């Protein structure tokens, strides 16, 4: 969406934190870019310009403010709400695709030429894929500098830089100081880092959140669906294993009820996976959502308003692995949530890999099986009817041979079509995968029994057709409305209620 300079300046003048991450303020007289809520003296209107991303500000010669740390904010919710090429590219760049495959690999994955992709992204964001990836590398480098005792040379390569010199030059250009100064400033602010050894130690981070934040709802959702061995849910915590591009990892997330951040403690096999891990965790918890915008629109419906008032800041649970969420959805289409949880845990126990070093004693230590493992052996261990085994094997085979791509860069409509073309997968499964894998904010799932039951409980139309017609007023946030309806279908009895 085009940036409205007057609206942006009003947000800066009022230091409105709701806009943090949605645009960047660059001050011509100082050469610094900031988040909208930066506590520094508000610059004159004639001295500022606005950019959609930090990468664009950096490409125009601005450096990051070390007071407000504009890269340490929630991302823009716009990228999850759009299915166009630029938004899909942004999601994949954040997942580290450019570092692993280059711009050519990013373009090929999206089905376009490198030249066309660069032209579209630059026109939309003011910076091309390389500049956006460079901004993400700088952010990952700062996290490693400030939260681990790793050497600067190790950080340079872990963050995706080709050389230590490139790392030093980039940090100086972005933050106006050498890397060692960033570490010194971090130690002065917070004391010694709790991080462990360079390759396998724990890295503790704060993931920013736009309040209000429905932590209870997320934990309840995960608790009712947790695969034993792969994940576990506590009173205020969620732990799980992760399969990342360069190796396995484990994470412990602390989700306090009233906060503007989530604590994440990661143990990585390879520190190059820090950036992708943070991106996937943010998507898992829907941390880049704009809860005030969602709540304002949904509360405008008198029938839905009481649910919104009871649960402000509701979030859309995401996913960290495409194969895992697709199998979860396929099982959930055919059996109950409890039975799907048991079956998924069995698949993980029989076919998954066990980690030698979990994050904590007694914590999750099993990786959910890969598509290749499921394609080769799921039929042997999966209980239930033959039809279910064939569906899971067909799905896994399609992912394993590359004919089905499950990543956040997919177009939602194309993903739904690809999924429903497979045997045993219906519209509900395809919509559910789009909702959780892509973070599609406008998927209603009107045929879902729990959604219809929740609609009836709130006095809304309980038929699929009637609910679909009524839900037109909820666009573009119908996924959040569906989450409210799920909640209304079974009144919560505690933190682990469905």
User: Active-site residues: which are they?
Assistant: 34, 448
In contact, 437 and 401? CB cutoff 8 Å? no
Pick from 283, 265, 273, 279: nearest CA to 248: 273
Q: Is 360 helix (H, G, I), strand (E, B) or coil?
A: coil
Rounded to 5°, angle at Cα 72 from 289 and 34: 100
The β-bridge partners of 33 are 26, 64
In contact, 356 and 241? CB cutoff 8 Å? no
In contact, 20 and 39? CB cutoff 8 Å? no
In contact, 154 and 271? CB cutoff 8 Å? yes
In contact, 110 and 85? CB cutoff 8 Å? yes
Strand runs labelled E in 296-367: 353-354, 366-367
The β-bridge partners of 253 are 238, 264
Residue keyed to tokens 């029989």? 350
> Phi-psi bin for 494: left (phi > 0), alpha (psi -120 to 50), beta?
left
Q: How far apart are CA 180 and CA 177, in angstroms?
A: 8
In 10 A of CB 76, how many CB atoms?
Answer: 20
In contact, 341 and 224? CB cutoff 8 Å? yes
């Amino acid at each position: 969406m085009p940036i409205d300079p007057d609206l942006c300046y009003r947000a800066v003048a009022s230091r409105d934190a709701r806009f943090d991450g949605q645009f960047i303020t660059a001050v011509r007289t100082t050469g610094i870019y900031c988040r909208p809520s930066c506590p520094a003296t508000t610059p004159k209107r004639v001295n500022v310009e606005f950019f959609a991303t930090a990468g664009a500000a950096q490409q125009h010669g601005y450096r990051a403010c070390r007071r407000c740390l504009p890269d340490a904010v929630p991302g823009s919710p716009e990228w999850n709400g759009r299915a166009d090429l630029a938004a899909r590219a942004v999601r994949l760049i954040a997942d580290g695709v450019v570092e692993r495959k280059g711009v050519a690999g990013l373009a090929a994955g999206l089905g376009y030429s490198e030249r066309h992709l660069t032209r579209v992204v630059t026109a939309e964001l003011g910076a091309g894929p390389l500049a956006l990836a460079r901004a993400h590398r700088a952010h990952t480098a700062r996290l490693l500098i400030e939260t681990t005792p790793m050497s600067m040379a190790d950080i340079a390569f872990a963050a995706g830089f080709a050389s230590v010199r490139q790392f030093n030059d980039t940090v100086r250009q972005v933050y106006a100081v050498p890397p060692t100064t960033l570490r010194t400033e971090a130690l002065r602010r917070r004391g010694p880092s709790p991080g462990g050894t360079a390759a396998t130690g724990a890295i503790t981070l704060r993931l920013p959140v736009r309040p209000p934040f429905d932590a209870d709802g997320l934990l309840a959702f995960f608790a009712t669906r947790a695969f034993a061995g792969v994940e576990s849910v506590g009173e205020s915590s969620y732990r799980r294993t992760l399969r990342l591009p360069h190796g396995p990892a484990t994470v412990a997330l602390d989700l306090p009820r009233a906060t503007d951040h989530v604590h994440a403690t990661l143990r990585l096999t390879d520190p190059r996976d820090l950036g992708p891990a943070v991106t996937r965790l943010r998507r898992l918890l829907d941390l880049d959502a704009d809860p005030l915008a969602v709540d304002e629109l949904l509360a405008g419906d008198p029938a839905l308003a009481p649910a919104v008032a009871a649960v402000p800041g509701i979030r859309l649970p995401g996913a960290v692995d495409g194969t895992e969420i697709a199998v979860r959805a396929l099982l959930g289409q055919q059996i109950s949530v409890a039975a799907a949880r048991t079956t998924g845990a069995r698949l993980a126990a029989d076919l998954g890999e066990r980690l030698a070093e979990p994050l904590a004693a007694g914590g999750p230590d099993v990786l959910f099986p890969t598509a290749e493992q499921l394609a080769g052996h799921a039929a042997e261990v999966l209980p239930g009817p033959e039809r279910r085994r064939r569906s899971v094997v067909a799905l896994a085979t399609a992912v394993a041979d590359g004919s089905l791509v499950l990543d956040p860069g997919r177009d939602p409509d194309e993903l739904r079509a690809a999924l429903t073309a497979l045997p045993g997968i219906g519209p509900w499964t395809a919509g559910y995968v789009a909702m959780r894998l892509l973070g599609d904010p406008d998927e209603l799932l009107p045929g879902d029994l729990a959604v219809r039951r929740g609609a009836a409980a709130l006095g809304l139309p309980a038929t699929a057709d009637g609910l679909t017609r009524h839900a037109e007023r909820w666009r573009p946030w119908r996924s959040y409305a569906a989450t409210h309806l799920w909640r209304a279908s079974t009144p919560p009895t505690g933190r682990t209620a469905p």
